[in-house]
Amino acid sequence: AQSVAQPEDQVNVAEGNPLTVKCTYSVSGNPYLFWYVQYPNRGLQFLLKYITGDNLVKGSYGFEAEFNKSQTSFHLKKPSALVSDSALYFCAVRDLTGRRALTFGSGTRLQVQP
Amino acid sequence: SAVISQKPSRDICQRGTSLTIQCQVDSQVTMMFWYRQQPGQSLTLIATANQGSEATYESGFVIDKFPISRPNLTFSTLTVSNMSPEDSSIYLCSVEHLQETQYFGPGTRLLVL
């Protein structure tokens, strides 16, 4: 069985400061890892993914994430937070060889203060 | 990315009734999924909608409660049957499109009274 853990329900950061949203995962094989963002009353928007290759992946809106196989982590980062980044962020995983549906973490609410 | 639309965007329904949610994609896709997001919760997979065959349901979800149709590669419906207040959720369809990435529709917000 695969699972995702997002240990922080909420992350608070001041505008202009770097942000990190944590994610750890568990799969039986090689993982496909994803980050999505959900703004109020909106669906999920794809941010970035790791499938293979460079451990540092860059995505939309200046976000990036680092895949760390030894720590089974895929933390989301941004060098300089914007107030408009305030939203709900979900990490998701699927097994490379298993079913194609995603397993989601519990979500982390990011609050960027002006 | 694929453009996905859902109808209705929201609805308020009485208990005991049924609601059918439509999901339309602007291109042909092999994999379509239905998820539920209960208030304040994460997403849970209901089923994989298979074109031309019966949907594959996850543990805890059954066809009698959540019948799904997938008549072609661009369209699917999810029906929430015999609704109760516990069915109040956001229902989202998603498709796998281009390089293993899933894209989501805007969701259907359902409130059952």
Residue A9: per-residue pLDDT: 96
Residue with tokens 């941004």: A78
What is the total count of domains within chain B? Answer: 1
Strand partners, A110: A11, A87
- Amino acid type, A33: L
Q: What is the CATH number of the domain that holds A34?
A: 2.60.40.10
CATH code for position B28: 2.60.40.10
pLDDT band at B100 (very low <50, low <70, confident <90, very high): confident
pLDDT, one tens digit per residue, over A79-98 is: 999 999 999 999 999 876 66
Residue B69 forms part of a structural domain: yes
A46 part of contact set with chain B, CB < 8 Å? yes
Instruction: Please report residues of B whose CB lies closer than 8 A to that of A46.
Output: 1, 101-104
pLDDT digits (tens, 9 = 90+) for B48-90: 998 888 899 999 999 999 999 999 999 999 999 999 999 999 9
Q: How far apart are CA A53 and CA B100, in angstroms?
A: 15
Q: Do B102 and A99 count as a contact with CB atoms less than 8 A apart? A: no
Sequence-ordered list of residues with C-beta below 8 angstroms from that of A10, at least 6 positions apart, any chain: A108, A109, A110, A111
**Residues of chain A contacting residue B104, judged by C-beta atoms under 8 Å apart:** 36, 43-46
Q: What is the pLDDT of residues B7-56, one digit of tens each?
A: 999 999 999 999 999 999 999 998 899 999 998 899 999 999 988 888 99
Task: Give the model confidence (pLDDT) of A23-49 as tens digits.
Answer: 999 988 888 999 999 998 788 999 999
B112, part of any domain: no
Give the rounded percent of residues in chain A with a pLDDT score beyond 90.
Answer: 81
Beta bridge partners of B102: B96
- B100 at interface of A, judged by CB pairs closer than 8 A: yes
Q: Which residues of A touch B45 (CB under 8 A)?
A: 101-103
Q: Which residues contact A3 (CB under 8 A, 6 or more apart)?
A: A25, A26, A93, A103
Question: Residue B113: inside a domain, yes or no?
Answer: no
Q: Check if A59 contacts B (Cβ < 8 Å).
A: no
For residue B35, tell me if it sits in a domain.
yes
Give the residue from B91, B86, B96, B85 showing the smallest Cα distance to B20.
B91
How many domains in chain A? Answer: 1
For residue A106, what are the domain limits?
3-113
- pLDDT the model gives residue A96: 66
Q: Is residue B9 part of a domain?
A: yes
Partner residue opposite B104 with nearest CB, options A44, A49, A105: A44
Structural domain that includes position B69: 4-99+103-107
Distance CA A39, CA A42 (A): 5
Half-sphere exposure of B109 (CA within 13 A, CB side): 9
